[in-house]
Amino acid sequence: MPTSELKKRIRNIPDFPKKGIQFKDITTLLSDPGSFQQAIDLMAHRHFGKGIEAVVGIEARGFVMGAAMAYKLGTGVLLVRKAGKLPYKTVAASYDLEYGKDRLEIHEDAIRPGMKVIVADDVLATGGTVSAVIGLLNKLGADVVECCFLAELTGLKGRQLLKRQKVFSLLQFEE
């Protein structure tokens, strides 16, 4: 199935979560076994044999992408969560939202210095969240091989915040 067919599996929800936003609902792609498998295969296959030690999934839909990619690559999956959700000692990063600030955390012992990781999430939009995650991983000494997304909203220019990172998005949407 070409990626153009995968794009058709993503539902567009106008004016969600607020007026003017065209929300890309990936649940329709995830619920179709063939589409989900193909998307994960295409996202993960480029990393076979490259020594990836873990995939970092970003709360919440990034957990789905990250866990499936980690399974495919035979690695562990590491979780980056919102503040207060992880039970052990954490390292945190704050980042700006259009309406305020938020905070992400990872367990302080999740990363070994030099560990080769991929960051996985569902959609690259403005890049603020993944930029904060990169900051956390750099603080812990990770070697971030790539930031990998199911989809990218190119018009929001999230890649510009990630200039120093290798970025891959399987599907691109202008809106």
Which residues does the annotation mark as catalytic?
Answer: 61, 98
Query: For the residues of 110-144, what is the DSSP string, one character each?
Result: S--TT-EEEEEEEEESSSHHHHHHHHHHHHTT-EE
Give CA–CA dist 119/77, Å, rounded: 10
Q: What number of other Cβ atoms are within 10 A of residue 29's Cβ?
A: 22
- Inter-residue contact 81 to 90 (CB < 8 Å): no
